[in-house]
């Protein structure tokens, strides 16, 4: 079955710095979704990418879908304390198979 | 309601007991998912409903787990003969269609003692 892998598992970032988290699927995806889960909370939808090579931006967040539709990335610029949480990608083979997530901590 | 509602928010039960976890999805959402999340892990798929039918139950760990959605709205996840390893947060999500944004409930934290 489909497997979604995320790296890194943990990301410790200095406030103001940029970082990128990556998502790789064992199979071609019809689309990919990204979610954010704050400590103690539930996953909250961020974005969905559908087209090969698609790039979408949300303020300081940039999401990209690979040309082969098997990988994706999330790049955050000028990290803030509000970015703390775990970021999950979810491959859509209707099951929404989630990766293990990248847990982000921010040093002020 | 405005969002996905799960009850109870917390459930402590003794090993061997039966439990039911309820999910009220967003009105009109045809797709409903159940996930299980352990500490430090991503949500683990359990079962997916499209309407009243279980379109995919391949994630249910064993036959102690069962879920229903009789009228295509509220869903109940049922766990028989609970084991300590069943302890986790059980998340429910609904979506307007099977390829769209999924809205998650706050989850039910199940503790088996």
pLDDT in tens, A20-45: 999 999 889 989 999 999 999 999 99
Confidence check: pLDDT of B55 > 70: yes
Mind telling me how many Å the CA of A92 is from chain B's nearest CA? 7
Contact of A21 with A73, CB cutoff 8 Å: yes
Cα distance between the two ends of chain B: 33
**pLDDT tens-digit readout, B5-17:** 999 999 999 999 9
The token duo for B42 is: 């991503």
Chain A positions touching B44 (Cβ under 8 A) are 98
Please provide residue B19's backbone torsions phi and psi, each rounded to the nearest 5 degrees.
Answer: -135, 150
Mind telling me how many Å the CA of A19 is from chain B's nearest CA? 20
Chain B positions touching A100 (Cβ under 8 A) are 41-42
Longest Cα–Cα distance in chain A: 41
Q: Report, as ranges of residue numbers, the positions in chain A whose pLDDT lies below 70.
A: 1-2, 93
What is the number of alpha carbons within 13 Å of residue B20 lying toward its C-beta? 7
Mind telling me how many Å the CA of A83 is from chain B's nearest CA? 18
Q: Return left, alpha or beta for A105; rule: phi > 0 is left, psi -120 to 50 is alpha, else beta.
A: beta
C-alpha Rg value of chain A to the nearest Å: 13
Q: Considering only the beta carbons, identify the residue of B33, B41, B55 that sits closest to A96.
A: B33
**How far is it, in rounded angstroms, from Cα B100 to Cα A56?**
17
């Amino acid at each position: 079955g489909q497997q979604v892998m995320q790296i890194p598992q943990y990301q410790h970032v200095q406030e103001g710095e940029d970082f990128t988290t990556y998502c790789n699927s064992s199979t071609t995806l019809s689309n990919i979704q990204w979610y954010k889960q704050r400590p103690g909370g539930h996953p909250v939808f961020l974005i969905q990418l559908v087209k090969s090579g698609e790039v979408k931006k949300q303020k300081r967040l940039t999401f990209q879908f690979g040309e082969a539709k098997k990988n994706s990335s999330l790049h955050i610029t000028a990290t803030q304390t509000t970015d703390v949480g775990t970021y999950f990608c979810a491959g859509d083979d209707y099951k929404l198979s989630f990766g293990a997530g990248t847990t982000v901590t921010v040093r002020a | 309601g405005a969002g996905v509602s799960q009850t109870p928010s917390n459930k402590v039960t003794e090993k061997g007991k039966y439990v039911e976890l309820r999910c009220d999805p967003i009105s009109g959402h045809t797709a409903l998912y159940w996930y299980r999340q352990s500490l430090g892990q991503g949500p683990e798929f359990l079962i997916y409903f499209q309407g009243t039918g279980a379109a995919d139950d391949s994630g249910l760990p064993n036959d102690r787990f069962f879920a229903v959605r009789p009228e295509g709205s509220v869903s109940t996840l049922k766990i028989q003969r609970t084991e300590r390893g069943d302890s986790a947060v059980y998340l429910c999500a609904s979506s307007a269609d099977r390829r769209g944004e999924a809205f998650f409930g706050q989850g039910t934290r199940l503790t088996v003692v």
